[in-house]
Chains A and B, each alone.
Chain A
Amino acid sequence: MTEERGGIVSYPLVRFHIVFSMLYLGIVLLGGLLYSLQFIGLYPFPGIEIFSPGRIRMLHTNGAVYGFIINGFMAGLYWAVPRLTGHRVWNERFIGWFLAIALQAAVLATAGGLLLGLAQAIEWGETPVFIDPAVVAWLFVALAQFAVPIYRYAREKALYASNWYILAGLIWVIMVYIMGNYVPQFFVPGVAGAAVTGTWIHDAVGLYVTPIGWGLMYYFVPVLLRKPIWSHALSLLGFWGLAFFYPLQGVHHYLWSPIPMYAQYAAVLSTVILELAVVTVIVNFLMTLRGNAEALKHNIPVRWLFVGIINYAVTCLQCALQVLLTTQKVIHFTDWVVGHAHLIMYGTFGFWIMGFFAYLWPKVRRSEVYSRTLDEWAFWLITIGMSVMWVDLVSAGLVQGFTWWGLSPFIDSVNFSVPFWVTRTISGLMITAGFVAFAYNMYMTGRRAPVPAAQPQTSGGAV
């Protein structure tokens, strides 16, 4: 079954996106490390305009989402969608490579633009204004690329959970991107603009990264464990919960701001309710694992996925807590939120993408994993680094928040944070070291002599 369907997947496209995703992840980690050095007085390029820490920060966040995560998802989608639907994507030879190269061009142009001071003041949409139309066009083409096989399949059968998420996510992201990058930039100033921006920040995560991530997980978890997902009813509940409650939360990024309170109450309430939907998804995955927990021990990709799920449970529990107006009094504006963001973007979606890569790379290179030891090192370094960073930043946030509330001089909150910031840099170093082990292992895996393909027609048949 798997072998038959191998012929409809374009291996070169999957490989291309994996390679670029890893490349950007390396750059993003270095950027994050570099930025963290500013906080402990060790920044290596003081007074150099294009390496100003503020610009490096934007490189770090934008590189993470547009470089690492989107490339990682593209690799996952090119692998999973044809297998889920039994149809090839719309067009590999032209559209596939056009999308692949245009994405790298957009990421590199964004990076250059940010360093040269052409940023846009939209959080997570700092992409210079002149690149935005190209991104919108790219998103439309990407939708067509994957919606075509899903549509073909839907004419024959009911869609599986992965397809709901992928289809909805690819449609949402177009509207979300247009709204977030144009409305507050050109049309709506001030407080209403903040409401729109909050909705964009939130939807970029909730209506693109989350549905695509969940959609791919609904494919990879059953495939890696070789058993069906535990409950169809729970996957329905999770999907409709996400679809209904997630778009209602944008304003929770600006709580206690001058945005009308009804919008803030709606955001808080729907955020707390959404955690129920999230729990259904987490329970569904964990119950699928039930009886196969041994796999965590010897199957590295499964381990990445499930530690990601645990991190997800932690982040979402944290989210339901931190979104309350009472908690916001202390933790808003602090490193608590930064810790939260790292655990969700890297600890969860990043871990899932690493899991996909650990599984896919030997397959698309038709090779065998070079070193199990390196895999273990990568996993433990990154897992421990990530956990330390989260605990550290969340604690730092509490210290900062209570220092402000206690009306100490502002600089006290900075001085008290320094030990936490040193710890953050160390945890960042651990994550980077883990990444190096992971990347080196991939490189050596790729260099190994290819395992003879069982069925020659599957080898790169697409391109």
Chain B
Amino acid sequence: MKRTPVAERFSTIALFVGIGLFAFGTFWQAVAPWLSLKEIPVETMEDIAETIPPEFYMLARDYPEEFGRYFGKPDKASFIEALKTAKEIYIAEACWHCHSQFVRPVSKEEIRYGKVSYPSEYANVMQLPQLLGTRRVGPDLIRESGRHSNDWHVAHFKNPPAVVPGSVMPKFTWFFDEKGRPNKKGLSMVTYMQWLGSWAREPMYELPSREGERS
């Protein structure tokens, strides 16, 4: 029998190509970045809750009945609870398919959104799985904190085009109870929006809450 060329043997393709070349590529594209970044400590929910943005307390003040029913008092425990709930919703509703969570150093994004993203702000369990996103039908959210008021978010989740004419975001009516007040989901999502980027707030280019200052 003629000897089979090495490149066309079963073992070459199964072991060298199938496993070897996959390992080589994956090393440079997945393992190496992880090795480069692994010195950054990963924050737990408790670490995150060390700094609670003021909007969380305002939420408790503005919606006392609902907040009391679902979360009790605005403290570390309830903040963690709200963020965990919001992360589940953010994933279930596939928010991340239309909203990214990183600011690039190009296309004047640091003017529009704020500080360019850096690795350590993602080293926390809220980014497990990561939610950087790959599409922007709506704006980036990683610098969202403080950009809009709690009321703006509540109204926006209920009916986005009513707040931002032309918006194509769906209505999230199930974030609200029968009386039209935000339920646990609604309150959690507002908390999450006010948390995203609360560690890197700075003056902003776009101030949508003020009429006539859009450009």
Chain B residue numbers with a CB within 8 Å of A41 are 168
* Min CB gap A106→B, angstroms: 19
Q: Does A105 contact B (CB under 8 A)?
A: no
Contact call B13/A52, Cβ cutoff below 8 A: no
Q: Tell me whether A46 and B9 are in contact (CB under 8 A).
A: no
* Most chain B beta-carbon contacts within 10 A, residue among A58, A236, A257: A257
Within 8 A of A (CB), among B154-181: 164-168, 170-174
Residues of A within 8 A of B172 (CB): 52
- A191's partner among B18, B37, B100 (CB-CB below 8 A) is B37
Q: Which chain B residues (91-115) contact chain A, with CB distance < 8 Å?
A: 91-98, 100, 102, 104-109, 111-112
Q: Is the CB of B100 within 8 A of A38?
A: no
8 Å CB contact of A263 from B28, B104, B124, B206: B28
The answer to whether A191 and B24 have CB atoms under 8 Å apart is: no
Kindly state the separation between the CA atoms of A350 and B90 in the bound complex, as whole angstroms.
31
Number of residues in A with C-beta < 8 Å to the partner? Answer: 98
- When distances are taken between beta carbons in the complex, the residues of chain B under 8 Å from A203 are 22
Q: Is A2 an interface residue (CB 8 A)?
A: no
A189, B4: Cβ atoms closer than 8 Å: no
A47 touches B105 (CB 8 A): no
Chain B residues positioned under 8 Å from A164 (CB to CB): 8, 13, 17
Closest to A154 in B: B10
Q: Report the minimum CB–CB distance from B123 to chain A (whole Å).
A: 5
* Most chain A beta carbons < 10 A, residue from B22, B38, B96: B22
B78 contacts chain A at the CB level, 8 A cutoff: no
Cβ B13 vs Cβ A121 within 8 A: no
Distance (Å) between the CB of B86 and the closest chain A CB? 13
Does A450 touch B at the CB level, under 8 Å?
A: no
Contact A189 B125, beta carbon cutoff 8 Å: yes
Residues of chain B within 8 A (CB-CB) of A246 are 25
Residues of B bordering A, CB below 8 Å: 1, 4-5, 7-10, 13-14, 17-19, 21-22, 24-26, 28-30, 32-34, 36-38, 42, 90-98, 100, 102, 104-109, 111-112, 117-119, 122-125, 127-132, 134-139, 164-168, 170-174, 205-206, 208, 214-215
Top 7 nearest A-B pairs (CB, nearest first) are A247-B25, A190-B122, A171-B18, A117-B92, A54-B94, A154-B10, A189-B128
Residues on A lying within 8 angstroms of B by beta carbon are: 38-39, 41, 43, 46-47, 49, 52-55, 57-58, 117-123, 126, 147, 150-151, 154-159, 163-164, 167-168, 171-172, 175-176, 179, 183-186, 188-199, 201, 203, 207, 236, 240, 243-244, 246-251, 253-254, 256-260, 262-263, 266-267, 328-330, 332-334, 337-338, 400-401, 404-405, 407-411, 414-415
In the complex, 15 of the A-B residue pairs with CB atoms within 8 angstroms, ordered by the A residue number, are A39-B137, A54-B94, A119-B91, A150-B10, A159-B4, A168-B14, A184-B129, A189-B122, A191-B119, A203-B22, A258-B122, A266-B28, A405-B108, A407-B108, A407-B111
